[in-house]
C-alpha cells in the first residue's frame, strides 16, 4: 500500500469524532500481549460493525487525535527470537489477516496495523476472545450477546468439518464404524436394509461423518482409532472421569480418547449409579430409584462432546461425588443462558461444531439439535429431582451439575402433587430450593401464585405448600414469628437477668430468628427490635453507652 494511500486512510481516521470500537490510537509501544488482545478485540468489533477493516495506529494521541509520532517499530520488534508479526499470527485463532505498515506523516513516524474482521467465529488471542466496548478492551465472554452476533455472521468455518488430509479409512476403528451403523439404523429404521449393503465410506458419507470420502476431524473424534488423535493436533480429544469422596478427595480416575462413540459408553459404565432410597409420607415417592437417569447422563456427556471448543486444547471432564455429577467442557455457552434455550423451545440459530453435531444426531448420540437440554430438565422434573445447574460464570467453560438426591422435600412433594405445573415455574421453584437469587419480577410472580413467601430476596416455599406437605416446622423456621413474640422474650430475659448486654440478647435470639435471614440480617433485625422497644414502645431503656448498651426494663 502506497504512503499516499496510508496517509489518506489516517486522515479519515483522525477526522472521526472519537476513538471507535473498530479503531484504536496509541502513541508508543504497549507490551506484545496487549497488542494481541487489541487485535482480537478490533477484529471482533469490526465484524459486529460490518467494517471492511479495523485499525490499530501508533503515533496518534488518543484524546486529541494529534499526530505525535511513535518510537515503536513493530516490523522490527521480536518476541524472543520470533518476529512480532509471526508471533501474533501464531497465537490468534482462527487465523485472520492483518498487515503492518510503517511510514512518515509530516516527518513523524507512524506504525499502522490494518486488521481484517472475523467472519463468523470470534477471534481469540491465547485462548481468550476480546471485544471493544466504547474505548475499552474487554473479554468477549463478559458480553454473550455480542458473541452470539459474531457467530451469526455468515458462518462458513466449522472446525469439526475440516478434512484431515493424511487420514484414511484405516485410521478409523472398525468396531466404532459397526457401532455407528447400528445407531444409524436405530435412528433410520426404514433404511436398515440399505445400510447393511453400503461400503464403509458410503455409509460415512451418508451419515455426514466424512466429506466426499475424506476423513474429517469429526470422524476422528467419533470413530478414530486411539492412536489417530494426532490428526487433530494441537487440539485434544479427551474425556477424564474422576471419582471423589465426600471430603472432595480424589479416589479414582481414568482418561478416554477416541473413538468417542465407544468410549463415551465406557465412561458411562464408570459412573456408580447407586440406588437412592426415600420413604415419603403417604408413599407418594418411589421407595427406591436410581440417583441418575441414564438418558440424562448420556445426553450431558454427548453435549460436552458436541459443544467442546477443541481449539482451546482442553479436556472434557466428569467429576463424580457422592451426591452429584459435574460435567465440564471448554468453550462459552453460545445461546447465552439456559432460560432462553428452554423458553424459545426451538433449535438455536448457531452452533460451535455444526458438522460434528449433525453427525452425532445421525448416529443417535444426541437429540435433534437443540432439544436435548429441555428434555434433560423435563426428565429431572418427572423424577421429582432438582433440575440441572448450568454454571456459565467461568470464562470459556460450561459446567453442568446433575444432583443425585433430593434437596428440599417440599419442592419434591410439590412436583408430585402438581404434575402439570409448567417448566418455567418449576425452574423458579428449583432456584428457591437452591437459594439462588431470583429477579424481583420472578419473586413477585411466585408470591402472586402463593408458591413462595418471605421478603425479597430471601424467599422460601409458601405456607400452602408447607401445610400440604406436613412441613409446618420448617415453614416456621423460614418465616419466623411476629415481632411481639421476640419482644416478649427480650422483656422476660431482662426481667430475670437485669441488665442485659447486646451480646446477651444476640445469644437469646439469633437461633430463633428466621432461617431465611443471614447473620447480618439477623443482627439488623435485633437492632430494629431494640430500637422499637426503647423509642416507640418505651418498654426498655439503655443505662449504658451507645457502644456498650446495658438494657433494663423501663419503670412505669
Q: How far is CA 246 from the centre of its chain?
A: 25
What pLDDT does residue 468 have? Answer: 45
Rg (CA), the chain: 31
- Number of Cβ within a 10 Å radius of residue 271: 18
State pLDDT tens for residues 241-295. 999 999 999 999 999 999 999 999 999 999 998 888 765 554 455 557 889 999 9
Give how far the C-alpha of residue 334 lies from the chain's centroid of Cα atoms, to the nearest Å.
Answer: 9
- On whether both 98 and 44 belong to a single domain, the answer is yes
Is a pLDDT exceeding 80 seen at residue 374?
Answer: yes
CA angle 305, 258, 94 (to 5 degrees): 55
Domain end among 452, 479, 506 = 479
The helix (run of H) or strand (run of E) holding residue 516 is none
pLDDT for 350 equals: 61
466 and 503 inside one domain: no
526 pLDDT tier (thresholds 50, 70, 90) = very high
Bridge pairing between strands 136-139 and 239-244: unpaired
Same domain, residue pair 145 and 107: yes
pLDDT above 70 (res 349) = no
Q: What is the CATH number of the domain that holds 545?
A: 1.10.10
Q: What is the DSSP letter of 221?
A: H
pLDDT at 313: 84
Pair (517, 458) in one structural domain:
no
Domain count, the chain: 3
What per-residue confidence (pLDDT) applies to 281? Answer: 52
For residue 421, with 0-12 CB atoms within 10 Å meaning exposed, 13-18 middle and 19 or more buried, which class applies?
middle
Res. 544: pLDDT tops 50: yes
pLDDT of residue 436: 87
Domain, as residue range, for 82: 3-150
**520 part of a folded domain:** yes
Report yes or no on whether pTM surpasses 0.85: no
Work out whether strand 124-125 and strand 128-133 pair parallel, antiparallel, or are unpaired: antiparallel
- Pair (472, 489) in one structural domain: no
Please identify, among 133, 150, 167, the residue that sits at the C-terminal boundary of a domain: 150
* Tens digit of each residue's pLDDT (9 = 90 or more) over 501-514: 999 999 889 888 87
Q: Is residue 416 located within the same domain as residue 451?
A: yes
Of the listed ranges 49-63, 293-307, 453-467, 501-515, the least confidently predicted one is: 453-467
Domain match, 428 and 543 both: no
Q: 16 and 89: one domain?
A: yes
Residue owning grid cell 400452602: 464
Q: What is the pLDDT of residue 245?
A: 93
321 inside domain: no
In this structure, is residue 463 part of a structural domain?
A: yes
Residue 35, in any domain of the structure: yes
Give domain status of residue 242, yes or no. Answer: no
Establish if 253 belongs to a structural domain.
no
For residue 523, pLDDT over 80 is answered with yes
Do residue 415 and residue 549 come from a single domain?
Answer: no
Q: How far is Cα 254 from Cα 271, in angstroms, rounded to an integer?
A: 11
Let me know whether 419 and 522 are in one domain.
no
Query: Does 125 share its domain with 51?
Result: yes
Show which of 106, 124, 150 is a domain's final residue: 150
CATH label of the domain that carries residue 144: 3.30.950
What are the backbone dihedrals phi and psi of residue 252, each rounded to the nearest 5 degrees, phi first? Answer: -165, 160
Q: Considering the domain boundaries, does residue 327 fall inside one?
A: no
Please indicate, yes or no, whether residues 416 and 526 belong to a single structural domain of this protein: no
Q: Which one, of 48, 5, 55, 45, lies nearest residue 25 by Cα? A: 55
153 pLDDT above the threshold of 90: no
Q: What is the mean pLDDT of the chain?
A: 86
Quick check: is 398 in a domain? no
Cβ atoms of residues 308 and 316 within 8 Å? yes
Strand, coil or helix: what is 369?
coil
pLDDT band for position 410 (cuts 50, 70, 90): confident
Report whether pLDDT(305) > 90.
Answer: yes
Buried b (16+ CB within 10 A) or exposed e, 288-306: eeebbbeebbbbbbbbbbb
- Reply yes or no on whether the pLDDT at 470 is more than 50: no
Give pLDDT, residue 68.
Answer: 93
In contact, 221 and 260? CB cutoff 8 Å: yes
Amino acid at each position: 500500500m502506497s504512503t499516499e494511500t496510508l496517509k489518506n486512510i489516517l486522515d479519515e481516521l483522525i477526522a472521526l469524532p472519537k476513538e471507535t470500537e473498530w479503531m484504536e490510537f496509541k502513541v508508543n509501544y504497549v507490551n506484545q500481549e496487549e497488542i494481541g488482545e487489541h487485535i482480537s478485540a478490533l477484529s471482533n468489533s469490526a465484524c459486529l460493525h460490518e467494517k471492511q477493516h479495523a485499525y490499530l495506529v501508533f503515533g496518534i494521541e488518543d484524546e486529541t487525535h494529534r499526530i505525535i509520532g511513535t518510537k515503536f517499530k513493530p516490523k522490527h520488534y521480536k518476541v524472543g527470537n520470533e518476529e512480532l508479526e509471526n508471533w501474533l499470527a501464531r497465537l490468534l485463532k482462527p487465523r485472520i489477516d492483518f498487515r503492518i505498515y510503517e511510514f512518515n506523516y509530516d516527518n513523524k513516524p507512524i506504525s499502522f496495523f490494518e486488521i481484517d474482521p472475523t467472519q463468523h467465529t470470534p477471534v481469540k488471542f491465547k485462548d481468550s476472545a476480546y471485544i471493544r466496548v466504547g474505548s475499552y478492551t474487554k473479554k468477549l465472554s463478559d458480553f454473550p450477546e455480542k458473541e452470539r452476533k459474531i457467530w451469526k455472521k455468515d458462518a462458513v468455518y466449522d472446525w469439526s468439518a475440516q478434512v484431515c488430509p493424511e487420514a484414511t479409512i484405516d485410521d478409523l476403528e472398525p468396531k466404532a464404524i459397526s457401532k455407528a451403523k447400528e445407531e444409524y439404523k436405530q435412528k433410520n429404521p426404514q433404511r436398515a436394509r440399505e445400510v447393511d449393503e453400503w461400503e464403509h465410506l458410503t455409509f460415512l458419507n451418508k451419515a455426514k461423518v466424512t466429506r466426499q470420502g475424506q476423513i474429517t476431524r469429526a470422524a476422528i473424534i467419533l470413530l478414530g482409532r486411539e492412536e489417530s488423535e494426532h490428526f487433530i493436533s494441537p487440539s485434544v480429544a479427551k474425556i477424564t472421569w474422576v471419582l471423589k469422596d465426600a471430603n472432595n478427595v480424589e479416589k479414582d480416575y481414568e482418561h478416554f480418547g477416541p473413538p468417542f462413540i465407544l468410549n463415551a459408553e465406557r465412561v458411562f459404565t464408570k459412573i456408580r449409579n447407586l440406588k437412592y432410597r426415600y420413604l415419603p409420607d403417604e408413599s407418594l415417592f418411589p421407595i427406591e430409584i436410581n440417583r441418575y437417569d441414564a438418558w440424562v447422563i448420556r445426553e450431558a456427556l454427548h453435549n460436552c462432546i458436541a459443544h467442546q471448543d477443541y481449539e482451546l486444547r482442553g479436556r472434557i471432564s466428569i467429576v463424580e461425588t457422592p451426591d452429584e455429577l459435574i460435567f465440564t467442557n471448554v468453550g462459552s455457552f453460545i445461546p447465552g443462558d439456559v432460560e432462553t434455550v428452554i423458553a424459545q423451545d426451538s433449535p438455536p440459530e448457531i452452533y460451535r461444531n455444526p458438522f460434528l453435531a449433525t453427525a452425532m444426531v445421525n448416529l443417535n448420540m444426541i437429540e435433534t439439535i437443540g432439544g436435548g437440554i429441555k428434555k434433560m430438565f423435563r426428565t429431572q422434573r418427572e423424577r421429582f429431582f432438582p433440575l440441572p445447574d448450568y454454571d456459565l460464570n467461568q470464562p470459556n467453560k460450561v459446567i453442568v451439575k446433575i444432583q443425585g438426591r433430593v434437596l428440599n422435600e417440599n419442592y419434591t412433594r410439590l412436583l408430585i402433587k402438581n404434575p402439570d405445573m409448567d417448566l418455567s415455574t418449576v425452574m423458579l421453584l428449583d432456584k428457591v430450593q437452591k437459594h439462588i437469587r431470583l429477579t424481583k419480577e420472578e419473586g413477585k410472580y411466585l408470591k402472586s401464585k402463593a408458591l413462595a413467601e418471605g421478603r425479597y430476596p430471601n424467599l422460601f416455599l409458601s405456607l400452602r405448600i408447607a401445610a400440604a406437605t406436613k412441613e409446618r416446622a420448617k415453614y416456621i423456621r423460614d418465616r419466623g414469628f411476629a415481632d411481639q413474640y421476640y419482644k416478649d422474650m427480650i422483656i422476660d430475659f431482662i426481667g430475670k437477668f437485669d441488665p442485659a448486654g447486646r451480646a446477651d440478647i444476640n445469644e437469646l435470639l439469633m437461633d430463633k430468628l428466621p432461617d431465611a435471614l443471614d447473620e447480618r440480617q439477623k443482627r439488623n433485625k435485633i437492632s430494629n427490635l431494640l430500637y422499637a422497644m426503647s423509642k416507640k414502645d418505651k418498654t426498655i431503656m439503655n443505662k449504658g453507652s451507645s457502644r456498650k448498651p446495658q438494657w433494663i426494663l423501663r419503670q412505669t
